[in-house]
Amino acid sequence: MTRVAAIDCGTNSIRLLIADLDGRGGLTDVVRTLEVVRLGEGVDRTGRFSQAALDRTLAAIHAYADLCREHGAERIRFVATSATRDAANRAEFIDTVYAILGVAVEVIPGTEEAELSFRGALTALAAPAPAPAPNSDGIAPAPVHLVVDLGGGSTELVLGGNIPESAYSMDVGCVRLAERNIVSDPPSDSELAAIRNDVSAALDVATATVDLSRATEVIGVAGTVTTITAHALGLTSYDPVAISGSRLPLGEVLRSCEALTRMPRAERAALPYMHPGRVDVIASGAVIWATVLQRVADAAAAAGHPLEWITTSEHDILDGVALSLAPPVVSP
C-alpha cells in the first residue's frame, strides 16, 4: 500500500486527493477536497495571474501541504492546467509552490490533461455502459468512450476504448467564456449565442483530431458537469455518491443546461447543490456542455448509433494523477 497525494490546479478550482494505492490499480480515498480560488481570473484578458488570485491559490496550497504532512503522503504530484499554461508570470507561481510543497509544478499540455481525465473517469465507473447495438452483420462493436473534461479555462476531449486513442484540448472553459461574453443577469440571448459560437468554432478544429461519430458513450467530468447532473437529478444537496456513475437521458441533460442558462444569479445561488464559486460561471459552462453534447449526438446519429444516455463521473484528472504515482512493478 502506497499513500499518495495528487493536486490538480485548474482555472477555477484547486483540488487535493490523498489516497492509498493498493498495487492493483485501486484507490482508497483518505482526503478529497476542493477550494474555488479562481486562479485564472482575468488571464484570458490580461495574460497574467493577478496578485489577488495568486494569494488565494497559495493560501489553499499551504493548507494542502499541511494535510499532506498530517496524513503521511509518500509521493506528491502537482499538475497545473489551462490558466497556468496561459499566464506569462507563471514562473513566480511555480517557484512559490515548490518552496511550499517541495515538489515541482508540472504544467501539463492539454492532451496529457485529457488522458489523465480519461484514466480517472473510466477506472472509477461502477458499472459498464450498455453494449452498443449489433451492426448489420450481427456483431456488437466494442464500446468507444468519449470523456469530456469541462474546466474553467479549457475543455478536453479524449476518445478511446480501454485506453485513449485520440485527444484534443479546446481553449473554451466556463471561466474563460463567462469573462469573455457575459455581462447581463441572466445572460442575454446574444451572449449565449456568442458562447455557442466560440465552442462551435473550437469543435470544428477538434473534430479533425477526435472523431466524435465513433463515440458510443459520453462521460462528463468536472464541476460544471456534476452540477448540471445534480440539477437534472433534482438533488436537495450536493451528493457525489448520487451523481457519480449516473446515466441520464440526453434530452434531460440538455433541458437542465437550458434551465441553468436562463436563471438569474440570485436563483442560481439559492440552488442547494450549487457551490458559491460556480454561481457566476455555471451558465457559460452549461452552454459549453450543451453545445458539445449536441455536436456529439448529431455525429453519432449520422453514423447510425444514436446517443441516448449521458454518464457523469465524479472521478477525473485528480484520480488519474493519483494513479500515475503507483510505484513501478518490479519483475521477480
**Separation between Cα atoms, residue 148 and residue 196, nearest integer Å:** 17
Give the chain's mean pLDDT: 90
More confident residue, 107 or 22: 107
Q: Which domains does the chain have, with CATH numbers?
A: 2-108 (3.30.420.40), 121-318 (3.30.420.150)
The arithmetic mean of pLDDT across residues 236-261, rounded, is 95
Question: What's the burial of 238, exposed, middle or buried (CB within 10 Å: 0-12/13-18/19+)?
Answer: middle
Of 323 and 258, the structure prediction assigns the larger pLDDT to 258
Q: Which residues contact 295 (CB under 8 A, 6 or more apart)?
A: 200, 203, 207, 212
Q: Is the per-residue pLDDT at 128 higher than 80?
A: no
pLDDT at 134 over 70: no
pLDDT digits (tens, 9 = 90+) for 209-247: 999 999 999 999 999 999 999 999 999 999 999 998 899
- Tell me if residue 283 falls in helix, strand or coil: helix
Alpha-carbon dihedral angle through residues 261, 263, 264, 266, given to the nearest 10 degrees: -120
Q: By C-alpha distance, which of 219, 85, 224 is closest to 152?
A: 224
Place of cell 508540472: 106
Mean pLDDT of 271-278: 94
Q: How far apart are the C-alpha atoms of 130 and 65, rounded to whole Å? A: 42
pLDDT value of position 133 = 54
Give the C-alpha separation, 155 to 310, whole Å: 17
| Helices assigned H by DSSP within the chain | 43-46, 51-70, 82-86, 90-101, 110-124, 174-181, 189-206, 223-233, 240-243, 250-262, 265-269, 282-302, 317-323
- The edge-to-edge listing of strands for the beta sheet with 155-160 is 164-170, 155-160, 145-150, 217-221, 309-313, 247-249
> Is residue 289 over pLDDT 90?
yes
* Mean pLDDT of all residues in 163-173: 92
- The arithmetic mean of pLDDT across residues 83-105, rounded, is 93
pTM (2 d.p.): 0.88
**Model confidence at 137, in pLDDT bands (50, 70, 90)?**
low
